[in-house]
Chain A
Amino acid sequence: MSLDKIGIAKRIAQELRNGWYVNLGIGIPTLVANYIPKGIEVEFQSENGILGMGPFPFDGDEDADLINAGKQTITALKGAVYFDSATSFAMIRGQHVQLTVLGAMEVAQNGDIANWKIPGKMVKGMGGAMDLVASADNIIVAMMHTNRAGASKILKECSLPLTGVNCVRKVVTNLAVMDIKDGKFHLVERAPGVSVEEIVAATEGELVVPDNVPEMVLD
């Protein structure tokens, strides 16, 4: 069984470490906040200007002045702070944020990522993604392994306009956890019930497969 979005978020949550400041992108990455492992304290940064982002407000408590980067209404936790956009990206570019999780349309074996534009079809803009991937040391990409037509999104080279070069270190998909090093994908774990063969078949980029590939352990 391949993972659903929640499964991907749960697996990424296992990468969180105590004391980290973390930036979560829109979509699957946002869900990671719901599965912080017990005993781990992290603080979420949203690039529109809050550190210490809390859960969605209770019905009726929404505040139009308090949103996340996905423009969703949120709350602020005790100890939270608001700041302007230049300060926010100083935190990001200045590497004060320890982990960035974001989505992608394509990832390549050299760590390139594409997630902001399909020429002639869809142009939403890069938002903060280019700043995030250019500066963060620790970037995890959350994505589906293949597109709806079944074509691999884990590639030798990205075909879409790039968001950043040589920057992704880890990819968590519905099928697998992979590290990127030395210009190759390295299979680290497989989703429960998914075989190595299925992962290999769904991966266009060069994939190094060790003798033993453990299954992810999710609760």
Chain B
Amino acid sequence: MNKEVKNVESALEGLQDNMTIMLGGFGLCGIPENSIQQMVKTGVKGLTCISNNAGVDDFGLGLLLQEKQIKKMISSYVGENDEFERQMLSGELEVDLIPQGSLAERCRAGGAGIPAFYTPAGFGTEVAEGKEVREFNGKPHILESALTADFAIVKAWKGDTEGNLIYKATARNFNPMMAMAGKITIAEVEELVPAGELDPNEIHTAGIFVQRIFQGEKFEKRIEQRTVRQK
């Protein structure tokens, strides 16, 4: 089935105020940067964004934060973004911080039809407040519920017109689980090829999870912490 759309505008068709959006990426690595820039352009507001991080002040989700388009963030680590911290501490931005492994599994569960699961992560901490606790093998666990989204926006290295995706290196991170958990999943790829050109053995995300795919116009792929050694 052909999932190709011609550009980022058509990919984001139907995006509305107050929607819940999942965005793949870890830090600035593997984020759908073309889609984020387009979201800023549309001026859509009141978004709930589910993303491991919140970008930096002037790139990634930080761009949407600057324009106050996000009402609520669901993340695990937000330490790189001053504007985020300001909005959170002042109460402008609602924030739900959840352990990274629980976030990944909640997305996976959402896409896999598992409504909830028990995990030891967060037991005895603020994260456990209001959650059911149950012992397994003598150890307490908390019940975490699945996450889904109106749109899941992921970024892959290569994709084909069927929506099959291959990620590169650690840019994979949250993208495969989020791709599964979107009512509509949008994939932006660096290189879009005709069906048949990707080796089925090498595909990470099956096209069944993807509704729209397009080749991003430009990828800046900004590096957050450039660390090198001398030759």
Contacts and interface: CB of A to CB of B under 8 A. Distances in A.
Nearest to B56: A71
Given A64-B222, A93-B120, A135-B121, A85 B230 contact: no
B79 A135 contact: no
A165 interface: yes
Given A130-B122, A134-B122, A164-B124, A86 B224 contact: no
Interface string A25-66: 000000000000000000000111110000111111111111
A67 B79 contact: no
Chain A interface, >50% SS class = loop
Given A84-B176, A135-B121, A162-B125, A67 B229 contact: no
Given A71-B80, A120-B89, A84 B26 contact: no
B172 interface: yes
A63 B169 contact: yes
A60 B230 CA distance: 10
B120 A56 contact: no
B37 to A, nearest CB: 17
Interface stretch (A3-11, A121-129, A201-209): A121-129
Given A123-B89, A123-B97, A66 B169 contact: yes
Interface residues of B, number: 59
B185 interface: no
Contacts of B224: 67, 71
A32 B153 CA distance: 36
A140 interface: no
Interface stretch (B1-9, B70-78, B193-201): B70-78
B105 interface: yes
Interface stretch (B14-22, B27-35, B61-69, B209-217): B27-35
A71 B27 contact: yes
B116 interface: no
B121 A130 contact: yes
B99 interface: yes
B121 A131 contact: yes
B124 A162 contact: yes
Contacts, number: 186
B48 interface: no
B121 A134 contact: yes
Contacts of A46: 170
Nearest to A130: B99
B77 A124 contact: yes
Most buried by A among B95, B108, B222: B108
Contact of A86 (B104, B168, B222): B104
Given A73-B226, A123-B88, A165-B124, A88 B104 contact: yes
Interface of A: 46-50, 55-74, 76, 82-86, 88-89, 92-93, 112, 117, 120, 122-131, 134-135, 161-166
Interface of B: 26-30, 52, 75-80, 85, 88-89, 95, 97, 99-105, 107-108, 119-127, 157, 167-177, 204, 221-231
5 contacts: A50-B170, A76-B169, A93-B119, A125-B77, A134-B121
Given A56-B229, A84-B173, A112-B124, 14 more contacts: A47-B101, A48-B173, A49-B173, A64-B223, A82-B167, A83-B172, A84-B172, A84-B174, A84-B175, A123-B97, A124-B78, A125-B78, A127-B76, A130-B125
